[in-house]
Structure formats: structure tokens, C-alpha cells
Amino acid sequence: MSKKIKLGILGGGGDSLIGVLHRVASFINDNYQIVGAVFNPNFEDNMAFAKQIDIPTDRIYKDFDTLIEEELKLPKEDRIQVCSVLTPNFLHFPMVKKLLENGFNVICEKPMTTTYEEAKILQATMEKSKTVFALTHTYTGYPMVRQMREMVKAGAIGKVHKVDASYYQGWINPIIHDKEKRASTWRLDPKKAGISCCIADIGVHAFNMIEYTTGLRIKSILADFNYVYDDNPMDVDGTVLVRMDKHVKGLIRSSQIATGEENGLSIAIYGDKGGLRWEQESPNQLFVLSDDKPLQVYKPGHGYNSELSLGGTKLPPGHPEGIFDAMANIYLGVARAVRGEAYNDGEFPTMLDGVRGMDFIESTVASNKQGNVWVDLH
Amino acid sequence: MSKKIKLGILGGGGDSLIGVLHRVASFINDNYQIVGAVFNPNFEDNMAFAKQIDIPTDRIYKDFDTLIEEELKLPKEDRIQVCSVLTPNFLHFPMVKKLLENGFNVICEKPMTTTYEEAKILQATMEKSKTVFALTHTYTGYPMVRQMREMVKAGAIGKVHKVDASYYQGWINPIIHDKEKRASTWRLDPKKAGISCCIADIGVHAFNMIEYTTGLRIKSILADFNYVYDDNPMDVDGTVLVRMDKHVKGLIRSSQIATGEENGLSIAIYGDKGGLRWEQESPNQLFVLSDDKPLQVYKPGHGYNSELSLGGTKLPPGHPEGIFDAMANIYLGVARAVRGEAYNDGEFPTMLDGVRGMDFIESTVASNKQGNVWVDLH
Amino acid sequence: MSKKIKLGILGGGGDSLIGVLHRVASFINDNYQIVGAVFNPNFEDNMAFAKQIDIPTDRIYKDFDTLIEEELKLPKEDRIQVCSVLTPNFLHFPMVKKLLENGFNVICEKPMTTTYEEAKILQATMEKSKTVFALTHTYTGYPMVRQMREMVKAGAIGKVHKVDASYYQGWINPIIHDKEKRASTWRLDPKKAGISCCIADIGVHAFNMIEYTTGLRIKSILADFNYVYDDNPMDVDGTVLVRMDKHVKGLIRSSQIATGEENGLSIAIYGDKGGLRWEQESPNQLFVLSDDKPLQVYKPGHGYNSELSLGGTKLPPGHPEGIFDAMANIYLGVARAVRGEAYNDGEFPTMLDGVRGMDFIESTVASNKQGNVWVDLH
Amino acid sequence: MSKKIKLGILGGGGDSLIGVLHRVASFINDNYQIVGAVFNPNFEDNMAFAKQIDIPTDRIYKDFDTLIEEELKLPKEDRIQVCSVLTPNFLHFPMVKKLLENGFNVICEKPMTTTYEEAKILQATMEKSKTVFALTHTYTGYPMVRQMREMVKAGAIGKVHKVDASYYQGWINPIIHDKEKRASTWRLDPKKAGISCCIADIGVHAFNMIEYTTGLRIKSILADFNYVYDDNPMDVDGTVLVRMDKHVKGLIRSSQIATGEENGLSIAIYGDKGGLRWEQESPNQLFVLSDDKPLQVYKPGHGYNSELSLGGTKLPPGHPEGIFDAMANIYLGVARAVRGEAYNDGEFPTMLDGVRGMDFIESTVASNKQGNVWVDLH
């Protein structure tokens, strides 16, 4: 009998790109099989999609509650073990909560919830359960991001004194400058998209990248948003000054109006002994800087990398792996955790990352609203 | 019932990297399920590997002949539809031949055979059968390689007058300079590895890249090999002058002693109206040159790309896909062909590519042996 | 008789790097000859240096006042026409003032003065005289920076809505973390170096780059400085949020603790029709971005560039020119202005750039001191 | 009295780009003053040009013979010390010969002569005189090219076993494909341009780059030229296989039909301990490769560079210097040699480089003519 982990999927049907990303990631390391799902709220679409991707349809449920109900009727060994939550943001909280309460392990897309309060509730729920929870800050799955984390931890750049992370995209440009379009896209409607657009969607990735790679906590922030038009109620661009402490500062830059930029997540970390720079669009290069030695370019798969990094590479150096492989690395870490195998800290982002992220989003919105003042995170 | 294509796998067990690449590629687009295999010549290892990657073991066979025999006993609709041949090079010919003769579609690793003669026999065999055959020149699966092909075809760079393809690696460096090691590695033993090391392993990829992207045929070649030591009988470096015709020339550079190079496959194509440049280690950039306009950098997923290119991209621009995705694109093309669906010329390399490749390898060996003279391909 | 412009030089003797940069720049386009100088405050060193660089010593003066006095005695046609001021920052104001009052044209290193008030006085002084004044924001002399300016002006990227300029260096890293060294370097002593270190030295270049390339004025700023240690009174890192107006925002990032960074001046400008990106360390590439067309890379010397850009290139495309050539372009513009020839707006930074720069520096210091609040520029 | 070296210039008037390059290079390090010249064969143009660039006209001569005659009448201390020969190729030989015979030091543009025989005569002439002779293979003046040379010499990459140098341009593309234009350009007329176009103009630079950086001598070559059209008698593209010895091989690639390429000179050197890669269009980066360590990027001005390299950098790291600075470094070396000061081997290319270059050009032409056979250099 297969020892593959039984995977359930919520959302991600139809043309969903995030659905493809998670599904492929689950396959890559031979660890998961999809056994149940609610891909779409509409049952017909749901079934059609299951057929399209050739998943057995016996456990394609009409809705989330039915999934829970029916799965719980199954003997434990047949039941969904991990459920991936890829639904619209506002559904993350109720779904994850119920999943955790019923003992399902969860892989959740970000943002984890729509409020910090919800995030804290999920955290408490998880602590009471004995479940594994992973938040898919996908970019932490790249081998060179993992290498950054391990190098900082090992002291390769000394004491960190400056960070600069950015996430620049330009996709909203053709929308924001068109009065009709900006009034009609759900992404710019606070009722549908929550309190923030740019910061919640991408700024939070840059925030997470800083905390993931440096191991430090951001203590306070000062944010300035750009709405571009008076009739637009949502941030499409935001710069955030951050402080780890009085003498460790940095910034987070995020934009959806950086016209022509595609998926420009980047991070630079400077310490008293060296610096590190990485860019998502060239994920297989990590630049290692020093005062007086030649610039070094680390690449995946070489023996000089850390165990955490090497664990995320499947082929020898020079064979580019990409974002599907990064996400697959997160799924691999979760598989190990679910199976009770040993795994390294850093193999997947956790509930704490989710709580921190929501704290960050709410704090930046507050800072901007109050006139760009410093706001402490919890 | 699943409409996934029933995939058989020969070879690729244990630590095989090529095994991982094919297996993952088969999963990525939801098209295949592995139903049968001979992963290893040793049956115990074979079974153990099947269990490790969680494949049903009922159709894990003790050897290739048994696989053929048993599968043929199954009703046609249950039988393996496509068989991937990942075994050592010398086994490609007998296995592929028997598979084709028995009506199995085949995906074969390169080099297709060990001689041109064998290649011609396979070609004849295939023509008599009604099967699909694909040769995994993986790099043709990259969206920007496909875009190059389509741009040349559409006349974007006018009439091609010069090509320059290279494949530089340095992996054999620590072996070749050690008398013990170079005497003991199978790669440098003609009895085990065939008539060529460097040209057959990587030079042929550069050859295929030229013919794939330009649509032209190389007519004659002049080759110079480097053995580095007198006691080494195998090429570890080779430069090949090529002629399409009297006025269309080019070269193929290949090396396994380009110390520090990882997987440096690249190609430049120049025509009377423009130029194209691509490098495998940065696969998501295609440089488009002209006499008098700014350099352009094409990237995957944009609407300005051709249909063939766009069909090989799953996510929006800026989300790097890599070599697993390139191989998956080839598997996707084969799936369409096997199902009798429409597919574009160029979705997967064919029997002809295999025949051409063997012709190239033998011709270069002959040219070098005869003192670097021009040799015509068939 | 030579029609070369008679150049005087103040400062820049001994090992001065800025001295080399200006001297070479003055030679490059055959426009200047050095006829007089006070290279060093010490007369012996002054004379020795003149001999070392092989300048006639008859007009090497013992001090600045003597230079003025003696030059004024000469017939107008023999007199120094342009005087380059390369002395320590606090001397810029009195020297430039006296030069302008006495009818000498001036090329002045930045920062123009030590206070905004002084800058305003110089501006008034210049307006009363009929002199040419240039401030050497050297980077504006690069052909691709000039191209950026002309493209924005011509509407190539539409209405600008976001700017991001940075200047990252790491040179102070080995000093700042050493208690002895940071206490003893003049750069971190407000009495010697003025009110700011990082912002005044390099942040102001990024500020100028924004105003030079966009043609827009920064209206208000909010600054956050990092001193790294409590006993250090000077900014070695500073991030500045900027507003052109309510809906056009941006930021200036500057650091001298970006360990391992060399001279990392960069700028990105985003408008509703496109984006532009440039980096000083690869000065001959200008990236032109759009929503839906391939990325373009503009390079110097091509016919597709603007007149202002082409005027700054001496050789055909592919022959890298560098920072000496950029400075030479500024000297070339000044030569044209001094001779009363036609020249383009943008050929050299002006008094207004100097006034704006001092305004920026004082405003950022004020903003940081007052707790990171918004401060309006004059 | 000025101790600047008295420089004479032959050719380089009017719009000559090579004239600008040499003139600026002579100024950059305060070592030269132009005292005499024959810029143009037409005396009026000659004088006009002297006035345009503001050179004293008293020693602007009507022709080369007059220059020699008149200069020899001057007392030795007033006479031209170094004469730069920038005239059309066929004039190099007679001019340089006469200059050397009359005791003038010479800086000569490449190709040094039009035949190998002439080159040997010049070599003999120079050996009899006590003059300094430099050939301006400009690219050897780049700090990172010098660093390559010194690293190879110091054993940083071990024993060299493979070299690959290329020089790709596309400038002749719009000419070669136009019947009228290709018939009328002097560059493709053997009577005016000599026996080779592409190899003599640029291939020889790549050849020189290999010998300069490796310190090895190329022993034999096999060349294949592309004329593109039957009515074109001159090579516009050529690939040359090279052998240092039986086990050290390489290639030289040169093209003027690499459409869209600008000035693509590059070199890669591989040894048993490491590799080096450099590209002229990004001259301030030297890539240092190894089997098992991170890729390193060396940049100019850092203390880790060799003395020869550091001597060619004027400003701190991060301030790009370019091709004028590279040529200036060669002029600086010549100045030291002429003054009898100590200088490093490698500061300027010598007569031997010129002889070797002509040997290479004639050998490749012979190899191609004889049907792409191996030809030994002298």
C-alpha cells in the first residue's frame, strides 16, 4: 500500500495558477497523492476539473464542510492527512481553523488570514492541536534563500546592521490608470480584498524574506503608501522603514506600479563582516560581498552550500531549477514533519510567520493612516 | 477511469538523476501515471526503488523482456502506452527497437544509439510501426528555445549566415588530470562508453540546438578533439567547424575540461536582419539583436511570444521555470501526439533528430581521426 | 594663439583622486589648458605638484587670495577663464563667492556649500555676475543618464508616478565598527565634515539624479538615519521618503555601511507608459521597460539615442567609456557655455542643482532630528 | 621646463576615431605633449585640424619625410621623442622603419605591417636601434586583462589546457548583403585593405589576447573563412583552430557578420586548477572559476589585484574606467620605458606582438586558401 501522504485541496481549480503551482509541487518529490478536494465552489466545475486533471472523483466534495464531515467518517489511515488551502483570502481563516480543530495538517497560501486577530486565534488553535501548519511563502523554498539564512546564522556576514528588501511589480499599471478598470477590479475593493492591496499581497513577502533570512524580528515600522488616484482606496505602492532595534535598520519597498517589472522580489543584507544579495528572477545566484575580497557568486548544488540549501536541489550545478521546485521543497519539508521524520528548521514557513505577517500588514496600514508614524509590532 | 497515459520506465532507479528528471517531468502536466517499470537490472533493487517512490509494484518486472511479454498479455487499454528508456547508452538500441516493433510509443534519452547504423535501423523500424518516438534533447523544451525556433522560422533575423553553439562543462577536470582516475572511469573507456565522450555526451546537444532552432541541416563538418593525455583514448574536448552550405557556416564548441563551467550550453544565430543569443544557465532570457535598434530581451509568458513558446510556460512572467519544466514540456508534446491531439512541430525532438545526432557523432570522430578533414553528413 | 580655455584649479593636489578626475576631464576634449592653480595650501607642496604634473609654475600661487589678486592684474584675454574648486567642502562657499564676484566662471565640486543659506547667497551672487557656474554631479555626464532625461522629457514613459534612487557603498564599514577609528576619522566629526556624512556625500547624488532625469522637483521628504553606534554623531546610512506631489512618490536610499558595495548609485523611474532603470557600475546600459513589450537595453553611441546623449559619446558602440568621460562631458558643456556657443540644457548641473542639494541635505537632517517627520523643501 | 614627453602624431586627423583615442590617452597621465604632427596628407586639412584641437602649428609638417628631416635638425632635447603612427595600414611599415632608423621611439596602431616579411624587417631594424616600440593592442591595457596575465603567470589556474577567444562584431552586415556596397567599400578591396579583412582587423586582437594573457605561443592553426558571397574576395568571418602543443588547444572566433554584436572581444582560459573569463564590453569584471569553490568576480582597484593591474587603475573600486583609460595605460608604460624608468613586462605590447600577429594573419590566410589545413607559425 502506498505510503504517499494523502493530500486534500481546497480551491485552485479552473485556470488558477496557484492551483498548478501547489499541485505540481506536491508531485515533485514523490510524497503526495491527491485524494480529496473542493477545487471550486460550484460542484459541476469542481467535478469537471477533477476529471480534467485526472483525479479520482469519489472524494471530490460539494463543499468544505462536507469534506470535513465525510473525511472524518473514514478510518484515520485513509483520511486526508494534509489539506492545502488555496481559496480566496477571506476563507483562509474559517477553513484553516476548522481543519486544525479536526486534526488535519494544513498548507495555507498567504496571507494567512485577513486580520492579525484571526491569525492569533489560528495560532492558539494550532497550539491546542497536534498538527503541522505551513504557510507558503514560496520564495523561502529556493536553495539560495535557504543558503542565505544558514550563512547569516553561521555568522558569515557578522552582525547584521542593514537590510533592504523589495518586491516590485508593474501588473496593476494598466488598471490603475484607467478609471473604469480601477473601480471594477476586486483587488482594489476593500470589501473584497481586505485592508491592503500591495502590502498584503507582496510587501509581506519581502517582510517575511527579511525575518526568514536574518532570523531577526522587525520591531517597528513606518509606512508610506501611494494610491496614485484620489478615488482609489487601496495601496498599490508602499515603502516601509523598518527597525530591528535602534541600530539595525532597513526598509521594505513594494510596488504594483513599477511599470514593466515582473516579479522583482529581492533582498540585500549587510553585516559588519560582509553582505548578501539575492533576486528572485535569477534565483540560482547568491552574491556574497566583502570589504576586501572578490565578489563571490554561490550557486545551488555545490558542496560548499549548507545542508538546508543542498536538500532543496535535485540536479547537479548548472541545471536551473525554478519556482515549482522551490514550492516542492516546502511540500517536502511538510511531508517530513507530517511523517515525524527529522527536518531542519527553515524547511517551511510556520504559523509564526503567518502571525508576524498579519501583524506587519496591520501595522503598516495603521502607520500610513496615522500620517506615517512609527508603529510597533506586537 | 483515469485518462492518464500509462507510462513505463526502463532504468532511472537508485540515485539516477535522469530518473528524477523524467519522473518529475511526467507528473508536471497531469498527463502520465507510472504503471510499469524495470528501474534496475537487479530485481531486489528494482522493487525497493518502486516502493521508495511509491509506485504500485505489481508491474515492476524482473527484466525488459519480461516487461514486454507481460504487458502484451494485458488488454490493449491497460497496457503501457509510452515507455521511457533511461538505461545505459548501449541498451537504447535493442530496447527501443523491440518496443517499437511491439507497438509501444517511446521516449528515449540521448544518444539514441551507439552507431549511425543502429539509428537508421530504428528509423526504419519506427516507420513500419505506428508509434510516437521522442528523443529527450531536453533543452528544446525551454520556452525561449522554442521562441528562437519560431522567430527564425518567421524570418525575424532574415537569412541565417552564421551559427555558434557551445556546450562547456568542467566536470571531467579532476578526473582527467589524475592518472589513476582517468584510467578507471567508464566514461573514458571506449569499450563501455562508445566511440566518443565529449561530443557524444554534450557536443551533440549543441548540434541538435542548431538544427532545432534554425531549421537548417548541417551538411559537412571538420572536427578537432583534445585528449589532453596520450594515455587517454577519449575526447574530452572538441571543436567542430560546420557548414550548412558554402556561405552559411558556424561552429560547435564542446568541452568537459572547461574548468569551473557547469552546464554551459549556449547558442548564437546571426542572420542578415538580426541575431539571437541564448544561454541554458539563464534560460528565461532570449537576447534579440539588430544592427540599429536597442537590444531586446524576450522573456517567457509574454503575449509577444509565439504559440509554441507560450505553450511551454505555466506561470506569469517573472516566475522562473527551469529544466524540469523544460522536460515536462517535451512529455506534454508526446502526450498530445500519443492521444492523437493536435500539436506543433517542435514540441518534441524526433527520430530524425536521433539519426542526425548519430550521423554527427560518427562524422566528427572520423574527421578527427583522419586529421581534421571535412566530412559530409549523410 | 591657443583658443583653449584657461583653467585654474583650487585644491586637487597630492594624492587627490578628485584632482585626477577633474584634470583628466579637462584634457579629454581638447578644450582646456591649466594656466594657474593653488593645488595645496602649502606652497612647497603646491609647486612640487605642479612640477610633478608638468604644469608651468609661473602662475602657481601661494594662496587663493593671491590667485585672485594676480590674475586680475593680467589682461582679460590672458586671465583664468574657468576655475575648478576642489578644496575641502567648507572652502567652497568663500572661494566660489569671491570667484563669481570677480567675474570668473566656476566649476565646483559638490556639496556646493555647507548650508542652504550659503547656497542661496551664491545663487544671488551668480545672478548679479555674468558668469557660468557648474556643479560636478559627475554622474549626469554619462550618456545613458542623459538619455534617461531626454526620454522622460519626450514622454517615453508617460507621466512619472514612482522613483527609486539609491547610492550604496560599504567603505565606512571597517571604520564604523572600530571605536578608535570612528572617533578619529574627520568624516564622522561634525566640526570638520558638517551636519551630515552619508546624505551630504552620496544621498545628495541620488537626489540630484532624480531631479536631473525626471525634470520634477521633490517637494517634501521624511528621513531616517542610522548612526549604528550611540557614540557616533554622524549618519552613515539614511533612507528618505520623497514626494513630488501627493500621487508621485519615491525614495532615496543611501548607505556607507552596505558592506562590500562599491559605488552603487542606481535609479529606477516608473511612469504610466513605461519604466527606466540605470546603474552607475554598468553605466553603458539603460534598461527600458514596458508592460507588454520585450525589455530593451539602450547603449551609447547608437543613432536611436537623443542628441544630448550622443554628444557625450566619442567612440562607436561597444567601446566602453567611463567616469572620466562622464566628467569630461560636463567640462565640454561648460566650455561651450563659456565660449557662448549653443549647448543643451542638461550638459552640466547648475547653481540651482547646488541650491536644491543643500536644501535636501538640511531638510533630511531636520526630518531625522525631529523624529522622522515630513519636511518641505523650499 | 616641462619634462613631458614630446609626442609626434602621424595620421588621426579629421573625424578619425583612432586619433581621438590616442590623443586622449596621451593626455590622461600628464606624460605627453603633442609637439609635431602630420595629421592629414593634405596640408591645409592638417593645419586646420591642428588649430581645431589647439596644437601649436609650428611643427605641423606637410608630409612625413619633412617631419623627419625637420625634426632631425632640432637639438635632441627639443626633438619629438615618441611618434604615434595612426596612418592607413600600408603606411605603417615605411613610416615605422624610417622612424626607428632615425632613433625615434614609436607607438604604432595594429596591424603593424601588411606582411610578415615587413614585420621581420621592422624587428631587425628595431634591434639595431635603441628605441622603444609599442603596438597598440589597446585591450591589453585594461586592468582586468593585466590581472588575467598575472594570475596565469602566478599559477592561479594551474597548467593551461584550453583557450577560447572571440571577437564578434556585426558592423559589416548592412554592407555585405548589398551588392553595390560590398563592391565599393575599401575594406573589402584586397588592393586597398590587404590580404584579410576580418582576421587582420579583429581576429588578430583575439590572437594577441591569448598570447598576452597565457604567456604561451600558438604553434599551428587551421582556419576557415566565410566570404558570404562569391563575388566578395575578403573574409568577413573566420574561425581558427589553434594549438599551443598537442595537448593544449583552443580556438579563435572572429566575425563582422555577427549581426547586432558591437565590439564583442572575449576570452576564456581553462587550466587544471581553474578558469578565467573576461569580456571587453564589461571590462571591469574578471570571472575566476574553479571546480568546487564559488565563482569569484575580480574588479579593478582592489588590493587583491596584482601590481600590473593596480597600476592601470586611477580611481577606487566602483568608478568605471573604460577604453580611453586602457589606451592611456599603454601610453603610460611607454612613457616609463622612454624615460628609462622601471616598468613591468606587460605594460605595452611590443614588436614581438606585431611580428606574431602578422605571422598569424598570413598563416590563417594560407590555411584557408589551402583548404583548411594545419599551418605552422614561424
Q: What is the 3-state secondary structure (H, E, C) of C216-243?
A: CCCCEEEEEEECCCCCCCCCCEEEEEEE
**Cα–Cα dist C312/C310, whole Å:** 5
Supply the mean pLDDT for chain C.
96
Specify whether C155 is located in the same domain as C291.
yes
> Which residues 160-199 on chain C approach chain D with CB closer than 8 angstroms?
169, 171
Above 70 in pLDDT, residue D1?
no
Candidate from C168, C249, C275 with C-beta closest to A170: C275
- Which range is most confident: A49-58, B318-327, C186-195? B318-327
Question: What's residue B193's pLDDT?
Answer: 85
DSSP per residue, A70-134: HHHHS-GGGS--EEEE-S-HHHHHHHHHHHHHTT-EEEEPSS--SSHHHHHHHHHHHHHTT--EE
Q: With CB atoms and an 8 Å threshold, state whether A162 touches C237.
A: yes
Specify whether B46 is located in the same domain as B182.
no
Longest dimension (CA), chain D: 65
> Which residues make beta-bridge pairs with A274?
none
Specify whether C96 is located in the same domain as C17.
yes
Q: With CB atoms and an 8 Å threshold, state whether A271 touches C259.
A: yes
Question: What's residue D245's pLDDT?
Answer: 84
Question: What's residue B369's pLDDT?
Answer: 97
Contact between B259 and B248 (Cβ < 8 Å): no
Question: What's residue D246's pLDDT?
Answer: 82
**Cα–Cα dist B35/B41, whole Å:** 18
Specify whether C182 is located in the same domain as C240.
yes
**Secondary structure letter of residue A303 according to DSSP:** T
**Cα–Cα dist C359/C353, whole Å:** 10
Q: With CB atoms and an 8 Å threshold, state whether C291 touches A260.
A: yes
Closest-CA residue in chain D for A302? D292
Question: What's residue C152's pLDDT?
Answer: 98
Boundary residue ending a domain (A139, A163, A182): A139
**Cα–Cα dist C263/A172, whole Å:** 33
Q: How many domains, in total, are found in chain A? A: 2
Specify whether D130 is located in the same domain as D157.
no
Question: What's residue C246's pLDDT?
Answer: 82
Specify whether D265 is located in the same domain as D211.
yes
Distances (CA, A) of B50 to A6, B43, B45, C187, D15: 18, 10, 9, 68, 74
**Domain membership flag for residue C316:** no
List the subunits that have 3+ CB pairs under 8 angstroms with A: B, C, D
* Cis omega (within 30 of 0) for bond into D56: no
User: Residue C180 class from Cβ within 10 Å (0-12 exposed, 13-18 middle, 19+ buried)?
Assistant: exposed
List the subunits that have 3+ CB pairs under 8 angstroms with B: A, C, D
**Cβ-Cβ contacts under 8 Å, D261 against chain C:** 318
**Cα–Cα dist A257/A173, whole Å:** 5
**Domain membership flag for residue C364:** yes
**Domain membership flag for residue D342:** no
Specify whether D55 is located in the same domain as D159.
no
- CA A165-A168-A174 angle, 5° bins: 165
Question: Measured between CB atoms, does C98 come within 8 Å of chain D?
Answer: no
**Cβ-Cβ contacts under 8 Å, C162 against chain A:** 226, 237, 255, 257-258
Nearest C-alpha neighbor of A141 from the set A339, A308, A356, A362: A308
**Domain membership flag for residue B333:** no
Supply the mean pLDDT for chain B.
96
Q: What percent of chain D has pLDDT over 90?
A: 95
Residue C66 has phi, psi (to 5 degrees) of: -65, -40
Question: Measured between CB atoms, does B233 come within 8 Å of chain D?
Answer: no
User: Helix (H, G, I), strand (E, B), or coil: what is residue D243?
Assistant: strand
**Cβ-Cβ contacts under 8 Å, D3 against chain C:** 51, 54
Specify whether A55 is located in the same domain as A190.
no
Specify whether D124 is located in the same domain as D158.
no
- Over residues C56-76, the pLDDT tens digits come to 999 999 999 999 999 999 999
Nearest CA-CA distance, residue C322 and chain B, Å = 20
Closest-CA residue in chain C for A250? C239
Question: Measured between CB atoms, does D297 come within 8 Å of chain A?
Answer: yes
- Over residues C241-283, the pLDDT tens digits come to 999 988 999 999 999 999 999 999 999 999 999 999 999 999 9
Q: What is the 3-state secondary structure (H, E, C) of C271-335?
A: ECCCEEEEECCCCCCEEEECCCCCEEEECCCCCCCCHHHHCCCCCCCCCCCCHHHHHHHHHHHHH
Distances (CA, A) of B153 to A222, B2, B265: 54, 38, 22
Residue ranges making up the domain that contains B362: 141-311+351-369
**Cα–Cα dist A329/A31, whole Å:** 11
Which residues, 6 or more positions from C127, have their beta carbon under 8 angstroms from its beta carbon? Answer: none
Question: What's residue A3's pLDDT?
Answer: 84
Question: What's residue A2's pLDDT?
Answer: 66
- Over residues A64-121, the pLDDT tens digits come to 999 999 999 999 999 999 999 999 999 999 999 999 999 999 999 999 999 999 999 9
Where are any strands of DSSP class E within C124-261? 133-135, 160-168, 220-226, 237-245, 248-255
Pairing mode of beta strands D264-271, A32-38: unpaired
**Cβ-Cβ contacts under 8 Å, D263 against chain C:** 316-319
Nearest CA-CA distance, residue C291 and chain B, Å = 9
Confidence of residue B288 (pLDDT cuts 50, 70, 90): very high
Q: With CB atoms and an 8 Å threshold, state whether A228 touches C161.
A: yes
Alpha helices (H) along D130-170? 143-153
Q: With CB atoms and an 8 Å threshold, state whether C20 touches D314.
A: yes
List the subunits that have 3+ CB pairs under 8 angstroms with D: A, B, C
**Domain membership flag for residue D286:** yes
Q: What is the CATH number of the domain that holds A291?
A: 3.30.360.10
Nearest C-alpha neighbor of C237 from the set A251, A255, A295: A251
Mean pLDDT of all residues in B131-158: 98
Boundary residue ending a domain (C89, C112, C139): C139
Specify whether C129 is located in the same domain as C39.
yes
Contact between A243 and C237 (Cβ < 8 Å): no
Question: Measured between CB atoms, does B295 come within 8 Å of chain C?
Answer: yes
Which residues, 6 or more positions from D345, have their beta carbon under 8 angstroms from its beta carbon? Answer: none
Candidate from B161, B174, B372 with C-beta closest to D222: B372
- Over residues A319-370, the pLDDT tens digits come to 999 999 999 999 999 999 999 999 999 999 999 999 999 999 999 999 999 9
Boundary residue ending a domain (A105, A139, A173): A139
**Cβ-Cβ contacts under 8 Å, C295 against chain B:** 296-297, 299
**Cα–Cα dist B264/B255, whole Å:** 9
**Domain membership flag for residue B124:** yes
Q: With CB atoms and an 8 Å threshold, state whether D247 touches B229.
A: yes
Distances (CA, A) of D160 to B182, C237, D269, D270: 18, 45, 7, 6
Q: What is the CATH number of the domain that holds C124?
A: 3.40.50.720
3-state helix, strand, coil in chain C (%, to 5): 40, 20, 40
User: Helix (H, G, I), strand (E, B), or coil: what is residue C20?
Assistant: helix
Question: Measured between CB atoms, does B303 come within 8 Å of chain D?
Answer: no
Q: With CB atoms and an 8 Å threshold, state whether B321 touches A316.
A: no
Specify whether C243 is located in the same domain as C224.
yes
**Domain membership flag for residue D117:** yes
Contact between C45 and C60 (Cβ < 8 Å): no
> Is the backbone of residue C318 left (phi > 0), alpha (psi -120 to 50) or beta?
left
Cβ contacts from B onto C, under 8 A:
32
Question: What's residue B2's pLDDT?
Answer: 66
Nearest CA-CA distance, residue C148 and chain A, Å = 15
Q: Mean pLDDT for each consecutive 10-residue tract of chain C (378 residues)?
A: 88 94 95 96 96 93 97 97 95 97 97 95 96 97 98 98 98 97 94 92 98 97 97 97 93 98 98 98 98 97 98 96 98 97 95 98 98 97
Helix or strand holding residue B242 (H, E): strand B237-245
pTM over 0.90: yes
**Domain membership flag for residue C213:** yes
**Cβ-Cβ contacts under 8 Å, D20 against chain C:** 314-315
3-state helix, strand, coil in chain B (%, to 5): 40, 20, 40
- Over residues A20-38, the pLDDT tens digits come to 999 999 999 989 999 999 9
Specify whether D200 is located in the same domain as D272.
yes
Alpha helices (H) along B185-321? 190-193, 198, 204-214, 307-310
Candidate from D224, D230, D271 with C-beta closest to B249: D224
Question: What's residue A316's pLDDT?
Answer: 95
Question: What's residue B192's pLDDT?
Answer: 85
Confidence of residue A192 (pLDDT cuts 50, 70, 90): confident
Question: Measured between CB atoms, does C233 come within 8 Å of chain A?
Answer: no
Above 80 in pLDDT, residue B1?
no
Candidate from D296, D298, D302 with C-beta closest to A292: D302
Distances (CA, A) of B90 to B87, B110, D298: 8, 11, 45
Residue located via cell numbers 486565534: A121
User: Helix (H, G, I), strand (E, B), or coil: what is residue B355?
Assistant: helix
Longest dimension (CA), chain B: 65
